[in-house]
Structure 1
Amino acid sequence: MDFQTSEEHTLIRESVRQLAIRYGLEYWREKDRQHAFPEELWQELARAGWLGTIIPERYGGAGMGLLEMAIVVEEMAASGAGATIAQLFMMTPVFGALTILRHGSEEQRERYLPALARGEFDFSMALTEPDAGSDTLATKTLARRRGDEYVISGQKVWISGVDRAGGMLLVARTTPLEEAPRRTFGLSLFLVDPRSPGVSHQPLEKVGTHCVTSSMVFIDELVVPKTALIGEEGEGWKYLVDTLNSERIVTTAGCVGAGELAIKLAVDYANARVVFGQKIGRHQSIQFPLARLKAEIEMARLMNYKAAWLLDHHLPCAAEANMAKMVAAEAAFNACDQAMQTLGGYGFSTEYHIERLWRDVRLFRLAPISQEMVLNYIAQHVLGLPRSY
């Protein structure tokens, strides 16, 4: 194993950092206040080639891997965006580009990948349902075959970015669960236009991540051609696993960067704030929690790099991706919470930015998979214990 940072990765970090610092804490605070998408930044990321990080050069991308994307997301988060940037990279580069690249047809790749690399439109994924929740295989949205078309109906919830997306990865059952020969059979993935007749959505109010809209999505007799199907009918679960592992890796990268940013803000304040005649950073009650969280953030980063490397080499990475996400989500939230504690009353003020980081990062203990479901996975698939759910 080689832990030496490559020249290429150093260059990526520096390039992204130079771009990101032009859209720093003040920029993100204003976007959060306005509940506005960071359009200016997103277009600059497209022009710089970062939206096409994992897209091969023949489709107009940079031809790199998920490890490099994790580095991009880390740097964006640490430079001011916080964990919210992970959602943006989940939606278009992962749900869109990665899924199509790894499992789509050549016609689908040629249609979508160059446009995604150029930032011409964004993507979304309609997966979670009101009743199924984390039980993806219990999806009830049904796609009925009708000649060379599918007719799809169902309901989704907590779908991010559908309000501005030009494409959507839609998860539906082509075989109802009760008729499937095995539980993992019968899911299918479709590439659809969320602006099509038959698709409507309604935004949900939420605590944080205000730069990204999350919505209820209603699908009523949506008609799509057979060519919208990704891969084989009924085999969508094995394609979806790749997407979900990638989603966890990007989530972890956002949490790592957000944790780094929170610790930095806390350290800067502790080195400047004088109480009872001395800087509060001299006290171990301030130092020790931040030092411990720095260690936890670094552990999450290393596990995430391992998961990304494995995925890039088409090797199993689910255990690593889930472990990294679990550790990063806890460490990042605790870092934001400890930063708020370090700043005292100022930490509760919007002026000092911690409260936005704190609100946004709380989501990632729930999504894209809850901490409890990660522990279920580790217990069953890593430790070999009986299934508990």
Structure 2
Amino acid sequence: MLEFSAEHQLIQSEVQKLCDNYEDDYWQAKDREAEYPMEFVQELAEHGWLGTIIPEEYGGGGYDTLEAAIVLEEIAASGAGFSGSMACHGAMFVPRSILNYGTEEMKSTYLPKLASGEKLLQCFALTEPDAGYDSTSISTRAERDGDHYVVNGQKTWCSRFYASDYMVLVARTTPREEVSKKTDGMTLFLVDIDDALEQEAVEARKIEKSIRRAVPSYEVWFEDLEVPAENVIGEVGDGFSQVMDGLNEERVVIAAEAVGLARVAIDRAVQYAKEREVFDRQIGANQAIQHPLADAHARMTSARNLTYQAARAFKEGRDVGEAANIAVYMAREAASKAADQAVQTHGGYGVATEYDVERYYREARLSHIAPISDEMIKNYIGEHVLGLPRSY
């Protein structure tokens, strides 16, 4: 079984205490009203958790992906589900762009503000309507003009746009038809969202959706947005490799969130199975209820072990491609099985919002397509792990 150090157990305990302040009716209301849980995120910031991966020299926690995974798992498992964990999930990997590739001036300027929660960097703009998962096909352009770049184009599924002060934007600085490799010619930019709005060079439209409603996503249009040249992150034209470097980390933390979702779904089902009596006995005494829940627990435990194996590999600087992709794939499966059985255990009440399990069911389904689909995960495993020919 998975064992955590005393320090990691303390992190779990502290996050659990904070989450106890936000009961089920809070998360139900946020989901129902499609309202971002800003109060929760601000309290996380006040306690330093949004600065988890930021080094101590910049005022952060000095932790890494492993600790970020612990924080997000506990948030999801508290009952918040993805409504809570995804609300702050960007803070656990988006700043990595600055950490890994930003200049020292950029780090000293922005990281202390992010660590304290004074400013939020939670928005990552990569996906485009006509590109989808094919990130090399993005067409948003950034053209150099003196001491700044001018950005034009469109992004979609930009989560937490209005809940962020900054955005990491991926744009082409060289058109795809002018590069020898389709992965060349992309660059990362740090965009000040308030400045972009003041320029009247950005427009955002909320995407109406039925899943993870508390964490809004947006379509965003850029028209002659001016971004200072010093806001380039890393090397001009090398943005694709920088993006890929961070995606494995995102997959590790998403796997942890899915594990947390599986945990809370199982917990709620078990609680109901102990309390609900039909035919003069607890329904949990029936193998038709008990065995699927035992199966869901076994799947969750297995996925949890894989997730933290990947997180430790990342922390130790080892190649995590295989581990991260398998972890997120299995954690999604575990979350879906657990949420489905939680709904089944509740019977008719499984679709009643007051019991929350229908929300966990919806959120578990979302995990199979965002931020990367199951099919793309299997493509990676087929090509890079099994050595099969590229399939797409």
Please, what TM-score do these two structures have when normalized by structure 2?
0.96
8 Å contact 1:86–1:253 — kept in the other structure?
no
CA separation in 2, counterparts of 1:99 and 1:24?
A: 34
CA separation in 2, counterparts of 1:218 and 1:63?
A: 35
Partner of 2:60: 61
8 Å contact 1:89–1:250 — kept in the other structure?
no
CA shift, 1:3, in A, is 5.5
Q: How does 1:124-163 map to 2 (within 5 A)?
A: 124-163=123-162
Which is worse superposed, 60-69 or 302-311?
302-311
Partner of 1:265: 268
Matched length: 387
- Write the deviation string for residues 210-253 of structure 1: whole angstroms up to 9, x where unpaired: 11111100011111111111111111112111221121112111
- Is structure 2 residue 322 aligned with structure 1 residue 323? no
CA separation in 2, counterparts of 1:56 and 1:284?
A: 50
Match 1:378 to one of 381, 384, 389? 381
Which is worse superposed, 85-94 or 336-345?
85-94
Amino acid in the other structure paired with 1:83: F
CA separation in 2, counterparts of 1:289 and 1:104?
A: 48
Partner of 1:121: 119
- Is structure 2 residue 288 aligned with structure 1 residue 285? yes
CA separation in 1, counterparts of 2:82 and 2:358?
A: 12
CA shift, 1:179, in A, is 1.3
- Write the deviation string for residues 50-77 of structure 1: whole angstroms up to 9, x where unpaired: 1111111111111011101100111111
Partner of 1:89: 88
CA separation in 1, counterparts of 2:266 and 2:73?
A: 14
SS at match of 1:22: coil
CA separation in 2, counterparts of 1:15 and 1:56?
A: 20
CA separation in 2, counterparts of 1:304 and 1:103?
A: 26
- Write the deviation string for residues 26-84 of structure 1: whole angstroms up to 9, x where unpaired: 22112112221112211111111111111111111110111011001111111111023
CA separation in 2, counterparts of 1:153 and 1:314?
A: 37
- Write the deviation string for residues 142-169 of structure 1: whole angstroms up to 9, x where unpaired: 1112222211111111110112321000
SS at match of 1:192: strand
Partner of 1:50: 49
8 Å contact 1:53–1:61 — kept in the other structure?
yes
SS at match of 1:125: strand
SS at match of 1:30: helix
CA shift, 1:291, in A, is 1.2
8 Å contact 2:2–2:305 — kept in the other structure?
no
Cα RMSD between the aligned structures? 1.4
Partner of 2:302: 299
Consecutive unaligned residues of structure 2, counting only runs of 5 or more, are none
What is the identity percentage for the equivalent residue pairs of Structure 1 and Structure 2? 48
SS at match of 1:388: coil
Please, what TM-score do these two structures have when normalized by structure 1?
0.96
Q: How does 1:226-245 map to 2 (within 5 A)?
A: 226-245=229-248
Amino acid in the other structure paired with 1:293: A
CA shift, 1:183, in A, is 2.1
CA separation in 1, counterparts of 2:79 and 2:283?
A: 24
